[in-house]
Amino acid sequence: MLSPVGGHRSRVLPASGTIGPSTFHALCMGTIVSIGSINLDLQMRVDHPVGSAETQRAHDFSRLAGGKAANVAYLARRFGHDAQLLGMVGDDRFADEAVAPLRDLGIDVSRVRTAAGQPTAVSMIFVPDNGKKTIVLASNANDAWQRADIDAALEAIDAAPAHSVLAVDCEMSVDACAAVLAAAQRRALCVVLDPAPPQRAQSGALRALWRAVHALTPNEEEAAALTGIEIADQAGAVRAARALHREGFELVCVKRSDGGCIAVSRDGVLAVQVKPVEALDTTGAGDAFTGALAVSLVERRAFADAVRLATAAANLTVMAWGSQTALPDRARADAFAAGLQCEWL
């Protein structure tokens, strides 16, 4: 059971968890293996959202390491855990720029592979005054997995310590993602899946392996795409989260556009609401959520505490520029999480 009080309706939980450990959390204790996209982020700050025909002048330009898997590994390491990164980079000068900050932080990047003849993935990120970024992604090496690269990733998964948590995103080739999920299922490893892009996450090869995934972390747009349910308010988020939970995921966390979260387990629906924060840049916020949730599963934290910490990490991330450079440390995340209230719906 994820929560002994899951059947209580409209019960507000205090800022520290009163929910005991579950069999789900008992499965998860080890290291964090992050698998998926590794990018070089080219970020510009602009006056207003891009999309018009006019030429905008950028206020600032930064070259930063990024990518979903890389960001998750970075957050896990910032939170004091061993982390390993699996993914692909190109055979260009961007490759080391994308990986060096993780190596310097102490993340195991020894299994990151080079795609011959391919450039490293690049994200063009435009951040307007409201912080709601627009991203144009050239997947490049992220989609260039060959059989030897997949086999190397499977070897790493087989060698991972017992009860490790795998954080997986879909910004990699479908074949590689499917092979990773199947390998995790064979080892009965705990898997957290960021289903982005949703079109890829629900493709036939991956949808058949949804049962290998324990926790799903879509945002509202992704949850709507996966379920066909419009999400215009909390009620819509609850309906979508419940629909995904019925697909067999043990935990579904729908990340709300207002910074909150709707989480569904077999015990019920949990809502985390936050006071508005000053959002400078939303880049990497979803990755912070996924990374913090993976950390909580490694630590066997209580269900409500896990969702609370993930929500805190995401909200702190939007309060600074960049992706990895904006990820909070553990002390700040714990302090922010302590002030969040959860309510059973």
317 marked ligand binding residue: yes
Whether residue 83 is annotated as binding a ligand: the answer is no
On whether the CB atoms of residues 239 and 264 are closer than 8 A, the answer is no
Q: Are 255 and 286 in contact (CB under 8 A)?
A: yes
- Determine the Cα–Cα distance for residues 10 and 216; give it in Å rounded to an integer: 24
171 is in an annotated binding site: yes
DSSP characters over 231-283: -SSHHHHHHHHHHHHTTT-SEEEEE-TTS-EEEEETTEEEEEE------S--T
Question: Is residue 39 marked as binding?
Answer: yes
Beta-carbon contacts of residue 110 (< 8 Å; ≥ 6 apart): none
**69 annotated binding-site participant:** yes
- DSSP reduced 3-state for 219: strand
Q: Is 219 annotated as a binding residue?
A: yes
Peptide bond just before 197 cis, omega within 30 deg: yes
Burial of 79: CB neighbours in 10 Å, binned 0-12, 13-18, 19+: buried
| Separation between Cα atoms, residue 330 and residue 80, nearest integer Å | 8
Classify residue 242 as exposed, middle or buried by CB count within 10 Å of its CB (0-12, 13-18, 19+): middle
Q: Is 71 annotated as a binding residue?
A: yes
Whether the CB-CB separation of 66 and 105 falls below 8 Å is answered with: no
Is 149 assigned to a binding site? no
Q: Look up 287 and say whether it is catalytic.
A: yes
Q: Which of the following is catalytic: 287, 305, 329, 334?
A: 287
Going by the annotation, the residues of the binding site for ATP are 219, 286-287
Q: Enumerate the known binding-site residues.
A: 39-41, 67-71, 171, 219, 281, 283, 286-287, 317, 320, 322
Residues annotated in a binding site for K(+): 281, 283, 317, 320, 322
Give me the active site residues, please. Answer: 287
Q: Enumerate the known binding-site residues for substrate.
A: 39-41, 67-71, 171, 287
